[in-house]
Amino acid sequence: MRIAVVDIGTNSTRLLLADVAQDGTITELARRSEVTRLGVGVDSSGVLSEEAMERVFATLDDYSAMIDELGGAEKRRAVLTSATRDAANGAQFTEQVAARYQLDARAIPGEQEAQLSFLGATSGRDPGDGEQIVVVDIGGGSTELIIGHGRTVGFHVSTQLGVVRQSERHIGHDPPTADEIEQLGIEVNDVLAAAVPAAEREHVKTIIAVAGTATSMAAIDLELEPYDPSVVHGHSVSLERCREIASRMASMPEAERRKVAGLHPDRAPTILAGTQILVRVIEAFGLDEVEVSEHDILYGVALDAALND
Residue type, 301: V
Among 49, 38, 43, CA closest to 11: 38
Question: Which residue range forms the structural domain that includes residue 29?
Answer: 2-111
Q: What is the mean pLDDT of the segment spanning 40-60? A: 94
- CATH number of the domain that 208 lies in? 3.30.420.150
Question: Is residue 136 one of the residues assigned to a domain?
Answer: yes
Q: How many domains does the chain have?
A: 2
Residue 44 contacts residue 242 (beta carbons within 8 Å): no
- Across the chain, mean pLDDT equals 94
Percent of the chain scoring above 90 in pLDDT? 86
**119 located within any domain:** no
171: CB partners within 8 A, 6+ apart: 180, 184, 272, 273
pLDDT category of residue 130 using cuts at 50, 70 and 90? confident
SS3 86: helix
The Cα–Cα gap between 197 and 305 comes to 32
Same domain, 160 and 270: yes
Same domain, 102 and 249: no
Say if residue 169 is in the same domain as residue 134: yes
Give the separation between CA 110 and CA 159, rounded to whole angstroms: 8
The least confident of 93-97, 117-121, 235-239, 287-291 is: 117-121
- CB atoms near residue 208 (< 10 Å): 24
Residue 72 domain-assigned (yes or no): yes
The SS3 of residue 13 is strand
- Which domain-ending residue is among 77, 111, 145? 111
In terms of domains, do 268 and 171 share one? yes
Tell me the pLDDT band of 77, cut-offs 50, 70 and 90: very high
Domain of residue 33, CATH code:
3.30.420.40
Q: Residues 220, 263: contact at Cβ < 8 Å?
A: yes
* Domain shared by 208 and 105, yes or no: no
Are residues 81 and 141 both part of a single domain? no
Residue 167: inside a domain, yes or no?
A: yes
Q: What integer pLDDT is reported at residue 82 of this predicted model?
A: 83
Same domain (yes/no): 234, 171: yes
Mean pLDDT of 283-302: 95
Is the same domain home to 103 and 137?
Answer: no
Averaged pLDDT, 110-128 = 87
Residue 282: inside a domain: yes
Is 163 inside any structural domain? Answer: yes
Q: Identify the pLDDT of residue 264.
A: 94
CA 234 to chain centre: 16
3-state SS, residue 212: helix
List, for residues 145-201, the tens digit of each pLDDT value: 999 998 889 999 999 999 999 999 999 999 999 999 999 999 999 999 999 999 999
Is residue 305, in this structure, part of any structural domain at all? no
pLDDT of residue 309: 62
283 shares its domain with 218:
yes
